[in-house]
């Protein structure tokens, strides 16, 4: 027994002694370790996360392809929330919607306008109604006040005028009583001349407590849209310019949600707005991947006079897409992607350009509930593989309040495929898109594209423009279906770690296909126990 035990100990010792020698004979896979410095990087763009094609930031060259702005699809059950005369007064207006991951519920805050008539404008009372949903389609308006039976949120101390609620869930604040934050406009002394921005906090989105230092920002009489910016580690909000009351979009930021920077105007009217006498009513904005997107409410042809039959667009509100890479300087988005400041100073058919720039349109038929105005709520939600845009809508024109009581209104839903704002398209004649030199970190290339009835392949070029061996178009397994998460393969291998941390260009070959986005992903485990 003792001899057997000693034999096994000897074998084990021999194996342990020789293990490092055996491991040292193994070599790291090619390309596993790379050098990268400013000389190697050159003018290549370092990218992280999803890359969209709304602007030309990463686009080097396009041949035989075009860009296309896409409109969201309105839900067939619209309006999914209807105005209840007993609870919602004269009109439902623009508000906010969130999905709470803790309760697994959708929550909606929307202004209700109480009063005898729109003609008695100074007697209106603005308050905020509340609704909840398990699926974002079927909504209920819970009774929050047993005495009145209303679904109006509870504010402490009471505020008789709460409009344009911009609500966000803030998981960065350690105080659970401030998990929900709201910016809203109010009239501290009851007069329009005192319009100002107030702050309130809530633990559940129902019972709110006013910030003692209200008001915190001068003036606003429309929607206010705040968010937490991870890149800046600050709160950011967009609201109307003023005082005085001018329809331009302003931006403010804060480190504590109370002390806000002075307003900076970030969107003003351009040649794109001249053909339809367009002004900016509100804008909701939010971070999307490593860029920022905004939905700009465009108000055309303000008038209280009868509308000429040849100008049915007058006194109506629809929506356009805007885009930014820093959240400060914004670009309008037309049918073919962004319009730069230089573009907007040039000469072209601006009427046609403005018509094609519509993102969320008002209804086509006079009988549709949102024929007159649409106002996206703050902010769009990503649910699964779709983007949900909730919006307030009315059948009536903007100044129809002078002629009609009450206003037919409600909340609608429009959806867009994930990343589906602008695509790069090719028809039956194949085309290519080649990126600028890029550097990414990851081992897999994921593509959002629709190639049903066509094909999409990717070849990879080095910094000199030569095809990298093994990553040519002929090596690439073609995409021939529709998915937001295609995984690219070369010679049936999805591992492209050989491409990471080196300047490359991606050349997309498209035929009867639409390309929406791509993203370098980290999917594999590249752990090595030992190497030479």
- What is the DSSP-derived secondary structure letter of residue 38? H
Distance CA 167, CA 161 (A): 16
Per-residue pLDDT 10s for the chain (532 aa) are: 545 555 555 544 544 444 444 444 567 777 778 889 999 899 999 999 999 999 999 999 999 999 999 999 999 999 999 998 888 888 888 999 999 999 999 999 999 988 766 666 556 788 999 999 999 999 999 999 999 999 999 999 999 899 999 999 999 999 999 999 999 999 988 888 889 999 999 999 999 999 999 999 999 999 999 999 999 999 999 999 999 889 999 999 999 999 999 999 999 999 999 999 999 999 999 999 999 999 999 999 999 888 899 999 999 999 999 999 999 999 999 999 999 989 999 999 999 999 999 999 999 998 999 999 999 999 999 999 999 999 999 999 998 765 565 678 999 999 999 999 999 999 999 999 999 999 999 999 999 999 999 999 999 999 899 999 999 999 999 999 999 999 999 999 999 989 999 999 999 999 999 999 999 999 887 777 765 5
Task: Give 52-68 as a DSSP string.
Answer: E-SSSTTEEEEES-EEE
pLDDT at 15: 47
CB 413 within 8 A of CB 73: no
Q: In what order do the strands lie in the sheet with 264-267?
A: 225-229, 234-241, 246-254, 264-267
Topology agreement, domain 32-70+423-521 and domain 73-416: no
Give the SS3 label for residue 8. helix
Q: What angle do CA 48, 50, 55 make, to 5 degrees?
A: 105
CB 166 within 8 A of CB 183: yes
Residue 504 makes CB contacts below 8 A (sequence gap 6+) with 44, 437, 438, 439, 460, 461, 462, 463, 468
CB 217 within 8 A of CB 264: no
pLDDT at 22: 46
- What is the DSSP-derived secondary structure letter of residue 468? P
Give the helix/strand (H/E) hosting 2: helix 2-24
Distance CA 80, CA 389 (A): 12
Half-sphere exposure of 220 (CA within 13 A, CB side): 31
Cis peptide before 244 (omega within 30 of 0): yes
pLDDT at 122: 57
Count H helices, E strands: the chain?
4, 39
Domain boundaries, the chain: 32-70+423-521, 73-416
Q: Which two tokens stand for residue 231?
A: 């890149």
**Is 3.30.70.20 the CATH number for 32-70+423-521?**
no
Cβ–Cβ contacts within 10 Å for residue 87, how many?
18
pLDDT at 407: 75
Q: Which CATH class is domain 73-416?
A: mainly beta
Q: Which two tokens stand for residue 134?
A: 């398990």
Cα separations (Å) of 61 from 25, 57, 193, 338, 379? Answer: 46, 11, 53, 16, 34
Distance CA 232, CA 257 (A): 14
Cis peptide before 105 (omega within 30 of 0): no
State residue 353 phi and psi, 5-degree precision.
Answer: -65, -40
Distance CA 417, CA 454 (A): 19
């Amino acid at each position: 027994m003792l001899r057997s035990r000693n034999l096994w100990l000897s074998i084990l010792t021999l194996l342990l002694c020789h293990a490092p020698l055996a491991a040292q004979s193994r070599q790291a896979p090619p390309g596993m370790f790379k050098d990268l410095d400013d000389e190697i990087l050159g003018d290549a763009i370092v990218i992280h996360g999803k890359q969209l094609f709304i602007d030309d930031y990463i686009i080097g060259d396009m041949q035989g392809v075009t860009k296309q702005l896409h409109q969201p699809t309105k839900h067939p059950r619209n309006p999914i929330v209807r105005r209840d005369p007993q609870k919602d007064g004269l009109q439902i207006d623009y508000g906010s919607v969130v999905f709470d991951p803790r309760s697994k519920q959708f929550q909606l805050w929307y202004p209700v306008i109480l009063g005898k008539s729109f003609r008695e404008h100074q007697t209106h009372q603005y308050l905020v109604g509340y609704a909840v949903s398990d699926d974002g389609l079927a909504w209920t308006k819970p009774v929050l006040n047993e005495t009145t039976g209303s679904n109006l949120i509870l504010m402490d101390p009471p505020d008789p005028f709460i409009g344009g609620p911009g609500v966000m869930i803030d998981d960065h604040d350690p105080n659970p009583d401030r998990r929900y934050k709201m910016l809203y406009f109010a009239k501290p002394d009851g007069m329009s001349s005192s319009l100002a921005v107030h702050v309130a906090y809530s633990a559940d989105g129902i019972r709110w407590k006013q910030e003692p230092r209200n008001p915190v920002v001068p003036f606003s009489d429309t929607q206010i849209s705040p968010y937490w910016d991870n890149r800046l580690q600050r709160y950011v909000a967009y609201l109307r310019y003023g005082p005085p009351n001018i329809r331009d979009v302003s931006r403010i930021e804060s480190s504590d949600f109370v002390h806000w920077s002075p307003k900076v105007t970030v969107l003003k009217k351009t040649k794109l707005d001249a053909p339809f006498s367009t002004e900016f009513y509100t804008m909701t904005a939010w971070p999307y991947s490593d860029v920022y997107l905004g939905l700009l409410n465009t108000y055309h042809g303000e008038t209280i006079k009868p509308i000429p039959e040849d100008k049915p667009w007058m006194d109506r509100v629809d929506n356009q897409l805007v885009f930014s890479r820093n959240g400060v300087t914004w670009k309008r988005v037309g049918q073919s992607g962004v319009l730069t400041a230089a573009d907007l100073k040039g000469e072209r058919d601006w009427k046609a350009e403005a018509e094609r720039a519509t993102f969320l349109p008002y209804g086509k038929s006079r009988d549709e509930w949102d024929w007159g105005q649409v106002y996206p709520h703050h902010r769009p939600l990503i649910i699964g593989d779709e983007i949900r845009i909730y919006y307030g809508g009315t059948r009536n024109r903007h100044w129809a309040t002078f002629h009609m009581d009450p206003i037919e209104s409600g909340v609608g839903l429009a959806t867009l495929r994930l990343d589906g704002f602008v695509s790069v398209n090719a028809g039956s004649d194949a085309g290519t898109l080649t990126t600028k030199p890029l550097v990414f970190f990851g081992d897999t290339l994921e593509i959002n594209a629709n190639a049903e009835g066509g094909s999409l392949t990717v070849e990879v070029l080095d910094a000199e423009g030569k095809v990298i061996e093994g990553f040519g178009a002929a090596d690439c397994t073609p995409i021939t279906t529709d998915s937001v998460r295609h995984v690219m393969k070369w010679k049936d291998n999805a591992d492209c770690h050989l491409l990471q941390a080196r300047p490359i260009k991606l050349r997309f070959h498209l035929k009867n296909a639409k390309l929406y986005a791509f993203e370098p992903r980290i999917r594999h485990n590249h752990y090595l126990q030992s190497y030479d």
